[in-house]
Structure 1
Amino acid sequence: MDAPATERKPLDSAEMGVIAHLYRGEVYRSTIWRTRLDTTTNWSVVTLGVALSITYSSPQASPLPLVLVGILIIFFLMLEARRYRYFNVWRARCRWIELHFIAPILKDGDLHLDDHWQDRLADDYLHPRYHVSMWTAVGRRIRRNYFWILLIQSFAYLGKLMVHPVPVTSFGELVGRAAIGPIPGWAVLGLGGVYCLSWGLISVWSGRADTARARKRRDPLGMG
């Protein structure tokens, strides 16, 4: 009697060699994209450092550079989140191969093809897609790196308003110093609060979504 069509024959030595080369290629791609993540983070740190140097160069220096650098930080954050979505694809494939191919070989020599883990990997190659949404990626990058960058930016801006050119003596004076041209200080501080709060909410929502996704997984590791 013929074997069922869904049954996968054992992998021969040539096929196992192909998977080994495939794993090495995916590791290389994940390494390259991981380096690109570090690059955008470095850009954010450098631009924030330049803004801090300009703003605190003298008591009379304007705090405006710390406001404008927020635009660049947002740009770098979105760019890094996009790169993270690519990196996450290669990372998930590497981990999937490690879990279902390399680990079983080392442990008992049985690849457990009857579990059809290879079908999921094949489907990921046949129909490539991102494993996480853009906002999930943004939240993860904020929790990993950008929380501290945004925190330093916010405290440095408020510190500048409070100490230069002389220490503030009232909240009204602080609001007055925050004014930018025709834009009143209360509007600038309000936008700053929304700026910080929005990224914080995205970070919290992303963290809870990741936790909920992990609880629903039927396997010990899901792609993404």
Structure 2
Amino acid sequence: MGVIAHLYRGEVYRSTIWRTRLDTTTNWSVVTLGVALSITYSSPQASPLPLVLVGILIIFFLMLEARRYRYFNVWRARCRWLELHFIAPILQEGDLHLEEHWQDRLADDYLHPHYHVSMWTAIGRRIRRNYFWILLIQSVAYLGKLIVHPGPLTSAGELMERAAIGPIPGWLILTIGGFYCVSWGSIAVLSERADQARAKRRRDPLAMG
């Protein structure tokens, strides 16, 4: 009993540490986006390019956070497993129900550690939790910059001129930007549907993670 109690405390500690790391990468994304917004809107003549370049950093932070989430999910799943099969039965019935072999599943997870969710699933979950709003603000701010600076937009042709970056035409920049937004949105929606489908297919009451 004492060993299990210390094991649970250790898993809670690791889960808390990785939860903090998730918050850190989100904070980095927010800060870098804030810097890009400050530079871009500092004057009507300022270039919207920082809002384009910050997208690269946001993608990097998203990938890093998704990787960290996969680690966090392991510790969180183990904590929840112990709460569900060890702590709750003791408090409720005083019986661990070892005949259900939940302890074997936990032991196997320690003997053969692996991620409980895929990278695809992790990316989708982080977009839905945090990055949807970050990407939305970036996109709206970029379009807003093109529309209002250096003066109110008067035609579609002028929009293309303002969106152009050096030798790259404006229509290509806007097309890439649209693909950028649609891609992340699609990943978020499709991964959520995959999560729901997986939950419906799950028949194993001992499924972990």
Fold shared per TM-score above 0.5: yes
Larger Cα Rg: Structure 1 or Structure 2? Answer: 1
Q: State yes or no: 1:65 paired with 2:40.
A: no
- Partner residue of 1:141 out of 121, 126, 131: 126
- Partner secondary structure for residue 164 of structure 2: coil
State the TM-score, normalized to the length of structure 2.
0.98
Q: How many residues align?
A: 209
Conservation of the 8 A alpha-carbon contact between 2:102 and 2:206: no
User: Deviation at 1:104?
Assistant: 0.2
Which moves more between the two structures, 171-180 or 60-69? 171-180
- Partner residue of 1:84 out of 69, 73, 94: 69
Q: State yes or no: 1:155 paired with 2:156.
A: no
Q: 1:185 to 1:217 in 2, by over 3 A?
A: same
For 1:35, give the aligned amino acid. Answer: T
The match for 1:112 is 97
Structure 2 unaligned regions, length at least 5: none
* Per-residue deviation, residues 182-207 of structure 1 (Å, max 9, x unmatched): 00000000000010011011101110
User: Deviation at 1:221?
Assistant: 7.3
For 2:23, give the aligned amino acid. Answer: D
The match for 1:24 is 9
Q: State yes or no: 1:132 paired with 2:117.
A: yes
State the TM-score, normalized to the length of structure 1.
0.91
- Please give the alpha-carbon distance, in whole angstroms, between the structure 1 residues aligned to 2:116 and 2:180: 27
- Partner residue of 2:182 out of 187, 194, 197: 197
Structure 1 unaligned regions, length at least 5: 1-15
* Per-residue deviation, residues 126-172 of structure 1 (Å, max 9, x unmatched): 00000000011000000000000000000000000000000111112
